[in-house]
């Protein structure tokens, strides 16, 4: 047992449901107790989805406990097949069905006899995999099953398209800025003269999968979901794939070069010229990091935490492209820890792999960065500690589903990220002016006592001096000074002590 207040990655069935409800005309039936269909609320609220979420529950209640589901699941499946006429129904196990150990495959087989549509049992174990792993597996399972079936009936189109083309695999419902990223990848590919063959799973249908293999290669924008599918397609159909995330100027360029490698002579445009033009003139990010504004960010300390994809990319962008010092970079994707370490090695002082949000919070409090780039949880830690935070990764709230165009990938993505970073740190000039004029924040924030020792006396002059310090660092200076005073057995803090503390810290 584990005492937990909050979790980063959701339970397995959420992953499965994200895959199924991303497809068009695929229905999921959860084998779950009343109230476990909260996924529908999330999709309807966070994504502001206009359509009914194609997820129903076959309710596990007291009767099911006593006698087993018996006809119930089968009936629910056949009924849904008649009502909605989906192409595919996915029976989704939950934590409850994991322990009940009913033979769900048997229900699927029996339901298949009387139904027109295909029926699959999602192969996920609640206690072994999390949301991302489950989504990755389920997507692979659906693609494998569908392609094998299509191939059997000789409907699979195996000839490649005449023009270079690509599939984008891994755009999901409830994904962090996925819709915007997808549009941006479309734009990049169009520039490179590449057609988008299929986007999977968001908005895709099972029928359209017969054209999947027509593409020349696959693009996997996110590390967490889609890799298994790409590996399967590589193994069986020899389709190459690109798993680099085109986030940041450097990685976007790498990504384009990998495409060039795959296309070889079929790439009509001069890609180095293209990259150069985009980098220097279309994207504003390269110029931004050179502009004097960004000088103020030099050596500022930041902490990064999130899913493996976004945290790794963000760490690289901050340290390589903006000259910011990443004092700690971490992910909650424990299952992918090795990859993450490899990615951020050399770009940060410390690597953190944990699923415990209090651990992350403590490290932030200890290291006192100037800015945090993390999830909604880190945003709240930041609020408490008065440290600004830019949200770069799920878990997210409704405000992270913006209506306007906000990609994180590609060249427009670099602009968005530059804005996010810049706005997160206190504006450089403001910072400077505050120091010169002693701050505009006149209300005595120092009464919000963060120190534990009440015996320390601040002299009037020292308090006045403390007030001159800009609001956003004042508490830290106060704490550091008090720590210094305690360490040196000083009872009254005057201006001299403050400076001594500052010097001691600098040394």
Q: Which residues are catalytic?
A: 293
In the sheet that holds 241-242, the strands lie side by side as: 195-201, 165-171, 217-219, 241-242
Q: Is 60 in the site for another protein (CB under 8 A)?
A: yes
Which is it for the CA torsion 35, 40, 42, 44, positive or negative?
negative
Rule CB under 8 A: choose which of 25, 87, 96, 415 binds another protein.
96
The count of residues interacting with another protein (CB under 8 A) is: 52
- Token look-up 């500022």 returns 300
Tokens standing for 194? 């590449």
For residue 390, the cross-strand partners are 373
| Residue span binding another protein (CB under 8 A) among the ranges 46-54, 145-153, 296-304, 306-314 | 46-54
| Residue closer to another protein, measured from CB, 97 or 319 | 97
Q: Is 268 in the site for another protein (CB under 8 A)?
A: no
Q: How many Å separate Cα 293 from the centre of its chain? A: 28
Scan residues 366-425 and list those touching another protein (CB under 8 A): 377, 380, 383, 397
Q: Is 83 in the site for another protein (CB under 8 A)?
A: yes
Q: Is 134 in the site for another protein (CB under 8 A)?
A: no
Q: Is 190 in the site for another protein (CB under 8 A)?
A: no
36 labeled part of a ligand binding site: yes
Q: Is 224 in the site for another protein (CB under 8 A)?
A: no
Q: Is 311 exposed, middle or buried (0-12, 13-18, 19+ CB in 10 A)?
A: buried
- Token look-up 């492209």 returns 321
Pairing of strands 88-93, 55-59: unpaired
Rule CB under 8 A: choose which of 23, 28, 31, 36 binds another protein.
36
Rule CB under 8 A: choose which of 17, 57, 88, 233 binds another protein.
57
Closest by alpha carbon to 237, among 121, 145, 158? 158
| Residue closer to another protein, measured from CB, 58 or 78 | 58
d(CA 434, CA 431): 5
Rule CB under 8 A: choose which of 18, 20, 37, 139 binds another protein.
37
What's the closest the beta carbon of residue 12 comes to another protein, in angstroms? 8
| Residue closer to another protein, measured from CB, 99 or 450 | 99
Q: Is 41 in the site for another protein (CB under 8 A)?
A: yes
Query: What beta strand segments (E) does 66-134 contain?
Result: 88-93, 118-121
Rule CB under 8 A: choose which of 50, 152, 158, 460 binds another protein.
50
Closest by alpha carbon to 187, among 285, 268, 276, 256? 256
Q: Is 21 in the site for another protein (CB under 8 A)?
A: no
314 labeled part of a ligand binding site: no
Sequence-distant (≥ 6) Cβ neighbours of residue 368 within 8 angstroms: 301, 385, 387, 476
37 labeled part of a ligand binding site: no
Q: Is 53 in the site for another protein (CB under 8 A)?
A: yes
Widest CA span of the chain, in angstroms? Answer: 87
| Residue closer to another protein, measured from CB, 17 or 462 | 17
Tokens standing for 395? 């878990």
Q: Is 4 in the site for another protein (CB under 8 A)?
A: yes
| Residue span binding another protein (CB under 8 A) among the ranges 96-104, 250-258, 297-305, 416-424 | 96-104
Q: Is 158 in the site for another protein (CB under 8 A)?
A: no
Tokens standing for 487? 């360490």
| 8 A C-beta contact, residue 86 and residue 54 | yes
Question: Running DSSP on this structure, what letter comes out for residue 404?
Answer: S
Task: Give binding residues for substrate as ranges.
Answer: 428-429
Q: Give contact residues for another protein (rule: CB under 8 A).
A: 1-7, 10-11, 13-14, 32-38, 40-42, 44-45, 48-53, 56-62, 65, 76, 83, 94-96, 99-100, 126-128, 130, 377, 380, 383, 397
């Amino acid at each position: 047992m584990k005492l937990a207040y909050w979790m980063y990655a959701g339970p397995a069935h959420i992953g499965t449901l994200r895959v199924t409800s991303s497809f068009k005309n695929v229905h999921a039936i959860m084998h779950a107790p009343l109230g476990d269909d909260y996924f529908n609320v999330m999709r309807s609220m966070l994504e502001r989805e206009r359509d009914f979420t194609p997820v129903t529950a076959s309710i596990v209640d007291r009767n099911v406990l006593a006698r087993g589901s018996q006809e119930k699941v089968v009936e629910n499946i056949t009924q849904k097949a008649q009502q909605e006429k989906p192409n595919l129904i996915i029976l989704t196990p939950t934590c409850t069905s994991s322990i009940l150990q009913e033979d769900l495959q048997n229900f699927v087989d029996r339901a298949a006899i009387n139904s027109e549509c295909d029926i699959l049992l999602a192969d996920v174990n609640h206690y072994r995999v999390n949301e991302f792993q489950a989504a990755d597996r389920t997507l692979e399972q659906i693609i494998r099953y569908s392609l094998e079936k299509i191939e059997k009936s000789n409907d699979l189109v195996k000839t490649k398209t005449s023009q270079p083309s690509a599939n984008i695999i891994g755009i999901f419902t409830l994904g962090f800025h996925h819709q915007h990223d997808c549009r941006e990848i479309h734009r990049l590919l169009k520039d490179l003269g590449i057609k988008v063959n299929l986007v999977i799973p968001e908005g895709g249908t099972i029928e359209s999968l017969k054209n999947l293999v027509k593409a020349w290669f696959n693009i996997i924008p996110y590390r967490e979901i889609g890799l298994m599918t790409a590996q399967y397609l590589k193994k069986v159909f020899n389709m190459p794939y690109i798993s680099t995330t085109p986030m940041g100027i450097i990685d976007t360029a790498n990504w384009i070069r990998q495409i060039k490698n795959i296309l070889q002579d079929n790439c009509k445009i001069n890609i180095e010229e293209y990259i150069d033009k985009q980098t220097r003139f279309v994207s504003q990010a390269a110029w931004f990091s050179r502009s004097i504004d960004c000088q103020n960010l030099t050596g500022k300390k930041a902490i990064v935490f999130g899913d493996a994809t976004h945290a790794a990319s963000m760490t690289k962008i901050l340290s390589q492209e903006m000259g910011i010092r990443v004092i700690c970079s971490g992910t909650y994707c424990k299952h992918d820890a090795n990859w993450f370490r490899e990615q951020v090695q050399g770009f940060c002082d410390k690597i953190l792999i944990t699923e415990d949000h209090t651990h992350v919070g403590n490290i932030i409090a200890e290291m006192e960065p100037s800015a945090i780039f993390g999830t909604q949880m880190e945003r709240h830690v930041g609020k408490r500690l008065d440290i600004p935070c830019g949200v770069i990764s799920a878990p997210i709230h409704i405000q992270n589903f913006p209506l306007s165009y906000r990609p994180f990938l590609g060249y427009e993505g670099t602009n968005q990220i530059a804005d996010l970073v810049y706005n997160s740190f206190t504006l450089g000039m403001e910072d400077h002016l505050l120091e010169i004029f002693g701050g505009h924040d006149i209300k005595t924030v120092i009464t919000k006592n963060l120190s534990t020792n009440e015996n320390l006396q601040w002299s009037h002059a020292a308090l006045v001096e403390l007030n001159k310090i800009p609001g956003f660092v004042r508490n830290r200076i106060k704490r550091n000074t008090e720590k210094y005073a305690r360490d040196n057995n000083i009872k009254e803090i005057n201006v001299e002590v403050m400076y001594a503390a500052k010097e001691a810290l600098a040394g």
